[in-house]
Structure 1
Amino acid sequence: MLAGLMEIPIMMVHLSLGELQVVCIISKNLSLTTLMNSRYYLPNELNSLTSLQELHISDCYKLESLPECVLQGLSSLRVLKFEYCSTLNSLPEGTTNLICLESLEIFHCDNLILPTTMNKLTSLRQLSITGDDDNLPNGLEGIPSLQNLFLSDFIDLVTLPDWLGTMTSLQTLEIWRCRKLTSLPASFKELKNLHELSIYECPKLVKRCKKETGEDWHKIAHVPKLKLELKSTVEPSFYEKMMSLWKKWTQFQRYHRDDFPFGEFELMIDDLLF
């Protein structure tokens, strides 16, 4: 009856150890998508899910760290995603023991510091990360197998680090909404395997990368497929619009009128409704 279960339903968010032991043998494709909302910690029993391939952790706005033991047993994990965990400040060094991990996604976890040993993730192919800082997170340097990198919303980022040129396996790079980003490092020319570069809503960088005349054109001229746009022309799907509205609502519920200066609370309501 349970052999075909692919996703834990919402009513099973709070699982006991016994339930987890059952779940871990249900399906190798099991995806945890409902570990969310107000958790201070993740259950240690997660490490018994040795067949788990995907783990999504979302809206755990009180979660500050992951115990070392939680990730130790996830030997089959391929996809790890964190989203809207605003107080999450660190991942355990044991994260680098996830030898099957192919994709790591970190969205709107602005206080998160990555382990310094990320280069030990030899199976990691895809990394997607958003931030509101003036630097990329430490720990990204020298990931040998990385092929796809997505960077978004680093609002104070002025330049990309020179070590970007050491990611010699990189094939696609997307940069979104880094509006202060003004230049690419000289080492960018070393990305010989890069075949697609997309830059959206980064006006200063787009100008510098203009074909033939831009100051950084010589750094990207070797890339076969270029998408340089001042404004994204990708229209969000209905699902994406609804998810965005839902995210705004969940964020809004955490606040009280007294938390805001005069007038800002009303502006937040207007943004939510219109």
Structure 2
Amino acid sequence: MLRFKNTKEWESVLESELWEVEEAEKDLFPTLLLSYYDLSPLVRRCFSYCAIFPKDYKMGKDVLIKLWMAQGYFGETGTRDMEDIGEECCRSLVMRSLFQEDYQKNRYPQETIFEMHDIVHDFAQSLTENECSVMEVNSSEESRFDFPHGRARHLMVILGEGTSIPTSIFSAKDLRSLIVKNSYNQTDRTKLLPILFAQLTCLRSLDLNRYFSFEEIPNDIGNLIHLRYLNLAGNYKLRELPERVSDLFNLQSLILNDCSRLKRLPRGLGNLINLRHLELGRTDDLHFMPRGIGRCTSLRTLSKFVVSSSGDDNVNEEDAASLGELENLNRLQGSLEITKLGKVKDANEAKKAQLDKKKHVKTLILDFGKILDYGKHEERERNDGQVMEAIQPPPNLEELVIKSLRGSSLFPDTTSSSPIIMLSCLRVLEISDCPKLMALPDQLLQATSLEKLYIRDCPFLEQRYFKEGLWGGGEDWHKISHIPNIYLHGRRMHI
């Protein structure tokens, strides 16, 4: 693969200082150098960035690509998504054995994990000339640990028990990446944030995820006008974000997974027209989506959309987005969960959302929510039925999950004026807590791609599709018997 290099490229390889290495490394570094020089300049830059991580660090592919994006490595890409270019960079690094893929899918079932061999990590660090550093803080004395402030651009700080972010890093004015890893559940460090936001204004990436107990984020975060990646996941005491987050016009990724007490997002979130990834996994206290989110048409990831109604406590109708604001978010990919669908009062909003235009969405979760006012059973049943009639699911779905529906039917039937799209890619269908649901659409069950069917807490469905046996069987068992994996009320049906 190196035979296509021209004379000038080979001379560059020959003149590299990396040929003059320590005795213990001289047998390996030259080999790595040849692989390195065979990479494109873009992939070289991405590889060198990985020196920010310590040895044996497990790098999540999606996070890594977002960090590369935040540094502007992919520039103007024309019609190609930056995320796709990042995928190509990862494949190049794996192909040349600079990355090793972690195949422990039981530990990381939903993401691809990379590791670097120790010698590859040493090689990456030798390329960066102190631009990428790892600082381990294990005591208060080490909090004063010094590092090359003038050259430092990318820094990971690993905090030990009872330690804090070293104030010495605040003098690294040109820092572009700051990743803080905290292995212990520690006290509130909100007082450090104003200093950080005032001093490190060149940051493109800021990662403060996991085990921090920030109760609030200061408005000074608006000073970080170059910020493109902000990870606050796991800050379980955080209840809201300051409005000045809406001033971070360059922001591409906002990660808020596991902020379990988060109740609201900034009202001006719709101003973030460059936002590509908004991750809201396991934010069960979130009341609503901010009005104007439909302007974030660059979004690729919107893991959750929370429906609200005018009667909700703590929700100002003027602040809340309607379901119809999904209309123009047609670049969405991966998984989309819509919660509290039972609060939709106008089925036209469900139709306006145009879910059938979300061609890159692979998993759709429709959660109608529990009934809190039992005096409104009939109204809820009627509304749920109308909403389901209005929904047209994305055509390339691989997984469809429906929860707590109070209507009796699922999507328009084949005789309707707008029948359900044939979901020819559907692999998993999960229906739970739908006590009034009478049957599943034949066109869903006829999908030859269907591998798994889960039905739980749906008495009519469980009776209808139960396998024949000593106690008789369901009238429509034959319609699902071709599906390899069938679970009814938590019990697997053996075919």
TM-score scaled by length of structure 1? 0.63
* Counterpart secondary structure, 2:243: coil
What 5-or-longer segments of structure 2 have no aligned partner? 1-125, 309-320, 365-399, 403-426, 429-495
* Counterpart secondary structure, 1:162: coil
Question: Which residue of structure 2 lines up, in the alignment, with residue 151 of structure 1?
Answer: 280
Alpha-carbon distance between aligned partners in 1 of 2:160 and 2:180, rounded to the nearest angstrom = 6
* Counterpart secondary structure, 1:76: coil
Q: Residues 48 and 147 (structure 1 numbering): CA distance in 2 closer, same or farther, change over 3 Å?
A: same
Q: Cα offset for 1:128?
A: 1.2
**Sequence identity, in percent?**
17
* Structure 1: 4+ residue segments shifted above 6 A: 201-204
Alpha-carbon distance between aligned partners in 2 of 1:73 and 1:157, rounded to the nearest angstrom = 32
Q: Residues 33 and 159 (structure 1 numbering): CA distance in 2 closer, same or farther, change over 3 Å?
A: same
Question: Which residue of structure 1 lines up, in the alignment, with residue 243 of structure 2?
Answer: 116
* Corresponding position: 1:7 with 2:133: yes
* Larger displacement relative to structure 2 (75-84 or 219-228): 219-228
Larger Rg computed on CA atoms? 2
* Number of equivalenced pairs: 219
Question: Which residue of structure 2 lines up, in the alignment, with residue 107 of structure 1?
Answer: 233
Q: Residues 138 and 64 (structure 1 numbering): CA distance in 2 closer, same or farther, change over 3 Å?
A: farther
Q: Residues 25 and 106 (structure 1 numbering): CA distance in 2 closer, same or farther, change over 3 Å?
A: same
Matching residue's letter, 2:170: N
Q: Residues 108 and 226 (structure 1 numbering): CA distance in 2 closer, same or farther, change over 3 Å?
A: same
Q: Cα offset for 1:159?
A: 4.6
Q: Residues 111 and 137 (structure 1 numbering): CA distance in 2 closer, same or farther, change over 3 Å?
A: farther
Q: Per-residue displacement from partner, 1:87-131 (whole Å, max 9, x unpaired)?
A: 211223221111221111111102224222112112111111122
Q: Residues 11 and 62 (structure 1 numbering): CA distance in 2 closer, same or farther, change over 3 Å?
A: closer
Alpha-carbon distance between aligned partners in 1 of 2:266 and 2:169, rounded to the nearest angstrom = 27
Q: Residues 37 and 159 (structure 1 numbering): CA distance in 2 closer, same or farther, change over 3 Å?
A: same
Matching residue's letter, 1:216: A
What 5-or-longer segments of structure 1 have no aligned partner? 234-274
Q: Residues 115 and 155 (structure 1 numbering): CA distance in 2 closer, same or farther, change over 3 Å?
A: closer
Alpha-carbon distance between aligned partners in 1 of 2:131 and 2:177, rounded to the nearest angstrom = 14
Q: 2:215 aligns with which of 70, 83, 89?
A: 89
Matching residue's letter, 2:254: L
Checking the alignment, whether the CA contact within 8 Å between 1:55 and 1:81 is kept in structure 2 is: yes
Q: 1:220 aligns with which of 354, 361, 367?
A: 354
Question: Which residue of structure 2 lines up, in the alignment, with residue 254 of structure 1?
Answer: none
Alpha-carbon distance between aligned partners in 2 of 1:83 and 1:162, rounded to the nearest angstrom = 27
Checking the alignment, whether the CA contact within 8 Å between 1:51 and 1:74 is kept in structure 2 is: yes
Alpha-carbon distance between aligned partners in 2 of 1:203 and 1:142, rounded to the nearest angstrom = 20
Root-mean-square deviation (Å): 3.8
Question: Which residue of structure 2 lines up, in the alignment, with residue 267 of structure 1?
Answer: none
* Corresponding position: 1:125 with 2:248: no
Alpha-carbon distance between aligned partners in 2 of 1:117 and 1:49, rounded to the nearest angstrom = 24
Question: Which residue of structure 2 lines up, in the alignment, with residue 268 of structure 1?
Answer: none
Q: 2:332 aligns with which of 185, 196, 217?
A: 196
Checking the alignment, whether the CA contact within 8 Å between 1:79 and 1:104 is kept in structure 2 is: yes
Q: 2:401 aligns with which of 199, 216, 230?
A: 230
Checking the alignment, whether the CA contact within 8 Å between 2:213 and 2:235 is kept in structure 1 is: yes
Alpha-carbon distance between aligned partners in 2 of 1:55 and 1:201, rounded to the nearest angstrom = 31
Q: Residues 103 and 43 (structure 1 numbering): CA distance in 2 closer, same or farther, change over 3 Å?
A: same
* Counterpart secondary structure, 1:23: coil
Q: Residues 83 and 226 (structure 1 numbering): CA distance in 2 closer, same or farther, change over 3 Å?
A: same
* Corresponding position: 1:34 with 2:158: yes
Q: Residues 46 and 92 (structure 1 numbering): CA distance in 2 closer, same or farther, change over 3 Å?
A: farther
Q: Cα offset for 1:152?
A: 0.7
Alpha-carbon distance between aligned partners in 2 of 1:156 and 1:69, rounded to the nearest angstrom = 30
Alpha-carbon distance between aligned partners in 2 of 1:116 and 1:128, rounded to the nearest angstrom = 16
Question: Which residue of structure 1 lines up, in the alignment, with residue 150 of structure 2?
Answer: 25
Checking the alignment, whether the CA contact within 8 Å between 1:61 and 1:85 is kept in structure 2 is: yes
Q: Residues 10 and 162 (structure 1 numbering): CA distance in 2 closer, same or farther, change over 3 Å?
A: same
Checking the alignment, whether the CA contact within 8 Å between 2:208 and 2:232 is kept in structure 1 is: yes
Question: Which residue of structure 1 lines up, in the alignment, with residue 29 of structure 2?
Answer: none
* Larger displacement relative to structure 2 (193-202 or 95-104): 193-202
Checking the alignment, whether the CA contact within 8 Å between 1:8 and 1:34 is kept in structure 2 is: yes
